[in-house]
Amino acid sequence: MKYDCNMQHRFTLIAAKAGIENAYIHSLRHIFASRGLENGIELKVMQKFLGHSTISMTADIYLQLDYT
């Protein structure tokens, strides 16, 4: 747990230096999934990448996003 907190702290400092506020490591996961789906990665493939137990979990989180 201490490792996770330290990584988040370091990530926050780096993001702040880049002028990015409210940055979280977990946000990178959402960016990866969102951009992947935008660029044609199939939902089933993304499910496996993210380690979701069901495709509906992946769909519920990422298919509601507006890719326009």
- The confidence score (pLDDT) of residue 66 equals 56
Report the pLDDT value the prediction gives residue 23, as an integer from 0 to 100.
Answer: 87
Distance CA 38, CA 46 (A): 11
pTM of the predicted model as reported, rounded to 2 decimal places:
0.71
Name the pLDDT band for 68 (thresholds 50, 70, 90).
Answer: very low
Whether the Cβ atoms of residue 33 and residue 62 lie closer than 8 Å to each other: yes
Kindly report, residue by residue over 11-46, the tens digit of the pLDDT: 999 999 999 998 888 888 988 999 999 899 999 999
Are 36 and 18 in contact by the 8 Å Cβ rule? The answer is no
